[in-house]
Amino acid sequence: MQRMGETLQLSAGDLVGHLNCHYLTELDLKVAHGELAKPKIWDPVLETLAERGALHEQGFIEHLKTAGAAVTVIDGVGIDAGAVAATTEAMRRGDTVIVQGALQSGQWSGRADVLRRVEMPSRFGAWSYEVTDTKLARETKGSTVLQISLYSDLVSFMQGSAPASAFVVTPGTQYQPEPYRIADYAAYYRHVRGSLERAIASPTEGAYPEPIEHCDICRWRNHCDERRRADDHLSLVAGITKSQAGELERRGVHTMAALATVPLPLPWRPDRGAVQSYEKIREQARIQVDGRAQEAVIYEALPQIAGFGLSRLPEPSAGDIFFDFEGDPFVGEGGLEFLFGYLYADDQGASRYTGDWASTRQEERAAFERFMDFVAERLQTHPDLHIYHFAPYEPAAIKRLMGRYATRENDVDNLLRAERFVDLYAVVRHAIRASVESYSIKKLEPLYGFERGVSLEDVRVVMARTQARLELADAGNIPEPDKAAICGYNRDDCASTQRLRDWLETLRAELIQSGAID
């Protein structure tokens, strides 16, 4: 969004931003009107994503050149009269491939990755152009459809005929474009575009910065987080849903502190959902407010129910394994588990860690088989062992790998039937209530005094860089220090899982001694 004289110039980024968050549109509009400063934020992860996208686009262009296509590149990065004129002239000449074509119609403009000539008539002659956009696999279909629909709309204006289709090229497809029939998405595109144009024409301040997935890549995320904290917003309560927050606000409860003082039992019945679920988040708000006052992460044991919580913990064994995957769901079809990490005690009781790296399907299969064989062999000497993990991802991934490679089926089946996998997240959620905004293992670590050896902020950048290489089939260029950093991070996760298990065992012993549980 940029003011050009009296006109507010809009782009595909504005359209996608509005789809995700109307509050984002409000903030960008204030910047365009000079009412608010644009946030100065440098995020190396976002920079890595941009570099990854540029590499993918360049790879596709080289693919087209290798196939014999003549390529015309429109210089520059922005939209100005010269770039639009150069694009129009290339279209008029009938150039085969136009890279970074500058498109404009009224207040809308954009740079299409590639315009490809097709033999359908337009105002230029017996040919016309269709849009091909390069996208990383992790980008959502909704945003992709909006972008190619806008670019196709702009192409339609410039050439006087509407493209029938647009195409998207994602990594791992040998640069084969996936077609999208524009008419199928026209109503959706018009709806979102109309919503944005109305928001621009008649600005309001009715939106609120609710936390959403888009926050992870938004330049305004710090601004919005600060506002939510200043407002003591209900979204800060761990586990609260949007519908629950809406119900509470309709009943005059607007802050976490206010929720913490709602009488129990509830003096009203919710319009939707169970009373118990609201009492649960009320108690969660209470302990978070208490923890905030004490400036510490605090906890309290929940009433123990047979078959849940601490009763799900098996007796510790010297053979126990603490297991964690690092994976990327956007590598090829179905993703890649690129690091199998497990911590265990050797015969002398010393802690040992295995970080088994996999950058191809063949290596993934081999790493899976090595892990399964390691467990099978260890069961011979430690028949009472269990495999501890945090959250349900690990056993789900094991089952997925078994199905993908049709190997070690009996071993996996035996582990599942014997309930060898122990999900500590499920144990925690029924065992304690803690003053955390999220029950991720990293938020819980202050409870059991675990300190990581690898900085989470540093590894965040390394992880993004590594995933970039994996998604672009360039694993050979992953630096060894990056691999070492990720292995260190994974080892921390495994060690934290072990420390959490030990802490929960101590808590169980205390509750047994006090008579709280049998």
- Over the stretch 411-429, which tens digit does the pLDDT of each residue have? 999 999 999 999 999 999 9
Per-residue CA distances from 119 to 99, 357, 387, 470 (Å): 18, 48, 60, 37
Q: How far apart are CA 83 and CA 60, in angstroms?
A: 22
pLDDT at 77: 84
The letter for the amino acid at 472 is: L
Q: Within 13 Å of residue 142, how many CA atoms lie on the same side as its CB?
A: 11
pLDDT at 142: 85
Residue 138 pLDDT level (bands cut at 50, 70, 90): low
- Quick one: how many helices (H) and strands (E) in the chain? 17, 15
Does pLDDT of 252 surpass 70?
yes
Q: Which tens digits make up the pLDDT trace of 156-202?
A: 999 999 999 999 998 878 899 999 999 999 999 999 999 999 999 88
Q: Is residue 367 a contact partner of residue 340, using CB atoms and an 8 Å limit?
A: yes
The domain 2-201 having CATH identifier 3.90.320: the answer here is: yes
Please count the other Cβ atoms lying within 10 Å of the Cβ belonging to residue 35. Answer: 9
pLDDT at 139: 65
Residue 140 pLDDT level (bands cut at 50, 70, 90): low
pLDDT at 52: 82
Picking from 326, 297, 339, the residue whose alpha carbon sits closest to that of residue 435 is 297
Does pLDDT of 517 surpass 80?
no
Pick the CATH number of 309-514 from 3.40.50, 1.10.357, 3.30.420, 1.10.3470: 3.30.420
pLDDT at 257: 98
| Mean per-residue pLDDT, 257-281 | 95
Full DSSP string of 298-346: -EEEPPP-TTSGGGGPPPP-TT-EEEEEEEETTSTTT-EEEEEEEEEE-
pLDDT at 123: 97
Does pLDDT of 126 surpass 90?
yes
For 134, the enclosing helix (H) or strand (E) is: strand 128-134
Residue 43 pLDDT level (bands cut at 50, 70, 90): confident
Instruction: Identify the burial level of 361 via C-beta atoms within 10 angstroms of its C-beta, where 0-12 means exposed, 13-18 middle and 19 or more buried.
Output: middle
Q: How far apart are CA 248 and CA 196, in angstroms?
A: 29
pLDDT at 134: 94
Q: Which tens digits make up the pLDDT trace of 304-333?
A: 888 899 999 999 999 999 999 999 998 888
User: What residue ranges do the domains of the chain occupy?
Assistant: 2-201, 232-295, 309-514
| Mean per-residue pLDDT, 273-282 | 96
The letter for the amino acid at 484 is: A
Give me the percent of the chain exceeding a pLDDT of 90. Answer: 83
Mean pLDDT (the chain, rounded): 94
Q: How far apart are CA 441 and CA 135, in angstroms?
A: 32
| Mean per-residue pLDDT, 450-469 | 92
